[in-house]
Chains A and B, each alone.
Chain A
Amino acid sequence: MTSLPAKTEKKLGLVIDLDTCVGCQACVTNCKQWNTGGHMAPLTDLNAYAAEADGVWFNRVHTYEVTGSTACGASPARNSSSRTMHFPRSCLHCEKPDCVTVCPTGASYKRESDGIVLVNEDKCIGCKLCSWACPYGAREFDVFEGVMKKCTLCVDRIYNENLAEEDRVPACVLTCPTSARHFGDLGDPNSNVSKLVAARGGVDLMPEMGYAPTNKYLPPRARKDTAPAAMPAPELAPAPGGFLGWVDKLLSR
């Protein structure tokens, strides 16, 4: 059914820290690795080793130059400076996603239990309308299979009892070397992710579209202007004894 649930029991989602993401693409790679054998498998690649390579990916990391933000420097003198920001983009498992309601077949749906937005590949006719309805470009059509594919929030990991409990998180979260990605219930104000969003002023992407994304992004933190302009290396203390002490003595004469 493409009618949205009035309320979901949980709001599972990601919190992505734009301050610490270094754009290493590890999350992209592990996402592809897990999901090409997972719930929406395969994530088809076309011409993978040739020009015009194309393929389905659920996670894409952009790089932007940001200027004018307080994050670029707190003092007016440094406001003109800019910073590089890496920006992972994937499905935000929105609370009011038109990608679900426009689907004519019921293949697209939002789960009442945890709010995850999924595609039932057996029902999908490949009309692509849902991908038009997503402002975030989160859905990618599999030309080879003729169906729409998208991030599953690793629905086949997070409840998977064959995995060790600490591994029951999305592949991207598990792999991020800088811990820029956090997973949890954003519907529970006491969850770690909700506290993180509150503490860091987490934001929605394109709030003006009215999709009420579940995933939140933590903007880059304000750059400190207190760092000293120069940091001289400490002088070497003379060694107390031994051969080097003897050399030191000899040279200091």
Chain B
Amino acid sequence: MHPAFSVIFFTTASGAGYGLLTVAGVLAVLGLLPQNVWFALACSFTALALITAGLLSSTFHLGHPERAWRAFSQWRTSWLSREGVLALITYIPALGFAVAWAFPQTHVPLAALGALVAVFSMLTVFTTAMIYRSLKPIHAWHNKWVVPCYIVLSLMTGSVILLALSAGLGVTVKFLAAACGVLLAAGLTVKWLYWSFIDETAGPATPASATGLAATGPDVQVRSVEWPHTEANYVMKEMGFAIARKHAGRLRNIAIWLGFLVPAVLIETTILLPQLFSGLLAVPAAMVMAAGVVVERWLFFAEAKHAVTLYYGAQKA
């Protein structure tokens, strides 16, 4: 599938924003969220900025962005529509949570709003994942690992950014560095399982079933000898994007190191260091992770093969 930058940015940025809100919300429920007005404002602003920038960027690849409001209408059947609706609703608890956290004198119930914002944020990330998970023609997306990958990576990126903000502002959040380590390990695990799954399996369709001939005998072989068109058409440009296996392997290694291993080492080192130095490590850890996760998301698109490629000579998809 063609890796459109707007969608890569949207899924990574908004995923991190919702993850940040969720982790902060859960910490509030657990009573571990430090009460500091600047920290609260910085976290809420960062989360909402990531989410909003992501949502706006996702409208850039539309043919008619001015009609985007129509996308809220079909939540009965469409995961994309559900995501739009949930993303919009989540602003309400997110803003309430920001106020409750930054300004305790308002007596807005922090723990309740924390729970609410965590639930709605995760529901939104779930709907994002389901947009891909529900597409049957794309085996690399229509499988059980896609939802866990989106959820865990959202929590992981959100918690690392929260840690970077706390370290940068000199605020200590108990257990957060350890939680980041656990989430980075979990992220690498689900991503690893996802990659092994897409390497070892293929979608159910074949060139013989795509042309209907599989029904006529078990040993039918169908080989494309001529395309209907001499130049790439929309279908090939959008759905026929193929990345060489060699490059995919290299990029996976880059994603693994930058997205998971390097940040994990940097963050776990902060536990051993005095408070003063932890900012020096947590902030670069977040930046390296961001680069790694963008590579990971680029691969999520670039490695996904669409069943329509079977009509154009692919033997499996």
Contacts and interface: CB of A to CB of B under 8 A. Distances in A.
Interface of A: 1-4, 18, 25, 28, 51-57, 60-71, 84-85, 87, 89, 98, 100-107, 123-129, 131-137, 140-143, 145-148, 201, 203-211, 217, 219
B289 interface: no
Given A123-B67, A131-B235, A219 B226 contact: no
Of residues B217, B234, B311, which shows the largest number of chain A Cβ atoms within 10 Å of its Cβ? B234
A64 B211 contact: yes
Given A106-B73, A126-B63, A146-B63, A63 B225 contact: yes
Interface string B67-82: 1101111101111110
8 contacts: A54-B233, A64-B207, A69-B219, A123-B67, A127-B71, A132-B138, A134-B308, A219-B216
B185 interface: no
A2 to B, nearest CB: 5
Contact of B227 (A55, A62, A85, A204): A62
Contacts of A85: 211, 213, 222
A64 B223 contact: yes
B216 A127 contact: no
A232 to B, nearest CB: 34
Contacts of A62: 224, 226-228, 311-312
Nearest to B76: A3
A208 B205 contact: yes
B86 to A, nearest CB: 12
Contacts of B72: 104
B81 A104 contact: yes
- Which one of B1, B72, B207, B222 has the greatest number of beta carbons of chain A within 10 Å? B222
A11 B236 CA distance: 30
B234 A65 contact: no
Nearest to A61: B228
Given A62-B224, A124-B63, A132-B1, A102 B78 contact: yes
Contacts of B78: 2, 101-104, 129
Interface residues of B, number: 61
Contact of A124 (B64, B79, B306, B311): B64
Contacts of B308: 134-137
Contact of B74 (A1, A52, A201, A208): A1
B204 interface: yes
A217 B311 CA distance: 15
Given A104-B78, A204-B212, A209-B205, 16 more contacts: A2-B76, A2-B78, A52-B231, A62-B226, A67-B220, A67-B223, A69-B217, A84-B225, A89-B311, A98-B136, A101-B78, A104-B81, A126-B63, A147-B64, A148-B63, A209-B307
B55 to A, nearest CB: 13
B212 A135 contact: no
A132 B239 contact: yes
